[in-house]
Amino acid sequence: MADSPELRKRLKNRGYGRADVDDRRAAVEEFSGARLEHVAAYSFDPEGASRNVENMIGATQIPLGFAGPVRIRGDHAEGDFIIPLATTEGALLASISRGMSVITEAGGAHTKIYMDTMTRAPVFRVDGIDHATEVMAWISENADTLGEAVSKTTSHGRLLDIEPYPNGRNLYLRFVFDTGDAMGMNMATIATEAACGIIEERTGAKLVSVSGNMCTDKKPAAINILKGRGKTVLAEARIPASVVEGRLHTTTAAVVETNYRKNLMGSAMAVSLGSNAHAANMVAALFLATGQDPAQVIGGSMTLTSCEDVDGDLYICVRMPNVEVGTVGGGTRLPCQSEALSVLGCLGTGKARKFAEIVAATVLAGELSTLGAQSAGHLGKAHEALGR
């Protein structure tokens, strides 16, 4: 393996012009012995990615397709939508498209957002439970002071609440923010640090970490299922029995039983923090296409899918308590991802809630199609036919 001070200097070059990227990629090729011909082929100015990646050497391409159209009747998303999805899993988009066509034939998916907040939960070291009680009282009495400190760090974010969780010499404070159209994790972190500085100064509590894991960020957690993080979104549809039989080749009773025994009972047996067929699949493909934080797919995995027989028709609903998305900032700035958001009419300010409803409708379609295939015994055949 080649190595030299000059090679290491080239590898660590932090420039973002195309020449810098080319030089860094050549150094990686020299160091590793690999040839990066396809990584070198990309269409955007590397300078535009300077806030998204360090040590850029090129770009990884993921196949991009679309599903739909799907009809959505939401508070923020209204109409028929084509959904861009990036994935390497064959059969996924075909399955989602089938679910979308069934939902559209049945009148569309109804969507609604019930909560929209971002959290950050620092942990403080205190002297004991009396000190924790004193700190909590000070915070309650000085909410305006902490809110002003937050407002100085952002023009878009707003502090809504601080939830205290004392435990011995530990005090966890779950800060709850409104972050507008940004996903808001960085915004919440910066704002929380500013407030924590004041808490330390005025109370004697010692900040140990700005994240004490009660946020909870990028990990499955019951607190996020119960209290929500990001946007809590529901999507529902009622599929007539004739459509279930004609399009999904199964029955309402069979889908309901499959959902009960698989998604509800099976997930309970496994003590899974999420009761669904494969919600993270749809979330991952849509997040990759639109520049969302891929690590937040974990929130999609905590979806609850429910099915009922309503006078012979199939009622299906997904509850997503942890949809962390934005339509400004982060990866949404990148050109391919911006184009995908534009397809949805969700690029820029004022569009984050619309996008969250589209996420839920997409998950609903994927769940419907997969439950239909499993209840009909067609899942393996579909994957086999599509090269899986």
Which tens digits make up the pLDDT trace of 80-104? 999 999 999 999 999 999 999 999 9
Catalytic residue among 105, 148, 339, 383: 383
CA-to-CA dists, residue 90 to 6, 177, 192, 384, angstroms? 43, 39, 42, 10
| Domains of the chain listed by start with CATH number | 9-49 (no CATH), 64-116+224-385 (3.90.770.10), 122-209 (3.30.70.420)
Only one residue has tokens 């140990």, namely: 208
Of the candidates 272, 344, 353, the one whose C-alpha atom is nearest the C-alpha of residue 305 is: 272
3-state secondary structure of 197: helix
- The total number of residues shown for the chain amounts to 388
Question: Taking phi first (over 0 means left), then psi (-120 to 50 degrees means alpha), and beta for anything else, what does residue 303 get?
Answer: beta
Angle, CA 288 vertex, CA 373 and CA 88 arms, to 5° = 50
75 pLDDT band, cuts 50/70/90, is very high
Query: 317 pLDDT exceeds 70?
Result: yes
The model's pLDDT over 173-219, given as tens digits with 9 standing for 90+, comes to 999 999 988 898 999 999 999 999 999 999 999 999 999 999 999 99
3-state secondary structure of 218: coil
How many other C-beta atoms lie within 10 A of the C-beta of residue 223? 17
3-state secondary structure of 146: helix
Instruction: Respond yes or no: is residue 23 known to be catalytic.
Output: no
Q: What percent of the chain is modeled with pLDDT above 70?
A: 96
Instruction: Respond yes or no: is residue 293 known to be catalytic.
Output: yes
- DSSP string covering 28-88, please? HHHHH----TTTT---S-GGGGTTT-SS--------EEEEEEEEEEESS-EEEEEEEEE-S
The amino acid sitting at 227 is K
> What pLDDT, on a 0 to 100 scale, did the predictor assign at position 156?
81
Q: Which of 44-53, 232-241, 299-308 has the lowest mean pLDDT?
A: 44-53
- DSSP string covering 152-172, please? TT-SS-EEEEEEEEEETTEEE
The model's pLDDT over 259-303, given as tens digits with 9 standing for 90+, comes to 999 999 999 999 999 999 999 999 999 999 999 999 999 999 999
Burial label, 156 (beta-carbon count in 10 A; 0-12, 13-18, 19+): middle
Instruction: Respond yes or no: is residue 383 known to be catalytic.
Output: yes
The model's pLDDT over 347-362, given as tens digits with 9 standing for 90+, comes to 999 999 999 999 999 9
Catalytic residue among 105, 148, 293, 339: 293
Catalytic residue among 23, 78, 89, 105: 89
The beta strand positions in the chain, using DSSP E, are 64-74, 78-86, 109-120, 123-125, 158-167, 170-178, 206-209, 230-239, 304-310, 313-323
Q: 240 φ, ψ to 5°?
A: -55, 145
The Cα 374–Cα 385 span in angstroms is 15
Query: 6 pLDDT exceeds 70?
Result: yes
